[in-house]
Amino acid sequence: MKSALLVVVLIACLQATTVSELKEKLSGYGDHPFGSSMINLVSVNMKTGGSLNELKQLLQQIKDELIALTQLQDQESATFTRRSQVDLAKLQATLEQAQQDLDNQRQEQSSLSNELSTLQTRVKEDQAALDRNSRGSGDAQSRLDAENTDFTAKYQDYSDAILACKEAQRLLMNLRGEGASLIQLTQDTKSNLIQTKENFQKIKEILEAHTKKSSLTLFQPIIEGLAEMTTKVNPETLNNVLSLVARLITALQEGQDQLEANHKTQVENLTRLGDDLRNEKQTLQVSLATANNRLKEIQSRLNELDGLINISNAIVEVTQLNIQDATRINELEDQEYSNQKVSRQTEIDIVDRLIEYINQKLSE
Q: Alpha helices, DSSP H only, in the chain?
A: 2-25, 33-47, 52-176, 187-207, 213-229, 235-363
pLDDT in tens, the chain (364 residues): 333 332 333 333 334 456 677 667 666 665 778 878 888 888 888 777 778 888 889 889 998 999 999 999 889 889 888 998 998 899 899 989 989 999 999 999 999 999 999 999 999 999 999 899 999 999 999 999 999 999 999 899 889 888 888 988 888 888 776 544 445 667 777 888 888 888 888 877 777 766 656 567 888 888 888 888 877 777 888 888 888 888 888 888 988 999 999 999 999 999 999 999 999 999 999 999 999 999 999 999 999 999 999 999 999 999 999 989 889 998 898 899 898 888 888 889 888 888 888 888 888 7
Q: What's at 259, amino acid-wise?
A: L
Q: What's at 197, amino acid-wise?
A: K
Task: Indicate the burial class of 42 (C-beta count within 10 angstroms; 0-12, 13-18, 19 or more).
Answer: buried
pLDDT of residue 4: 33
pLDDT of residue 292: 93
**HSE-CB of 185 using CA atoms within 13 angstroms:** 20
Q: Choose among 224, 209, 218, 295: nearest CA to 249.
A: 218
Cβ contact 45:55 at 8 Å: yes
pLDDT of residue 263: 94
Q: For residue range 326-335, what is the model confidence (pLDDT) as tens digits?
A: 899 988 988 9
Other Cβ atoms within 10 Å of 87 Cβ, number? 15
List the beta bridge partners of residue 233: 183
Q: Choose among 157, 167, 164, 241: nearest CA to 205.
A: 157
pLDDT of residue 261: 95
Cβ contact 35:348 at 8 Å: no
Q: Choose among 205, 173, 220: nearest CA to 192.
A: 173
Instruction: State pTM to two decimals.
Output: 0.58
Distance (Å, rounded) from C-alpha 4 to C-alpha 46? 19
List the beta bridge partners of residue 183: 233
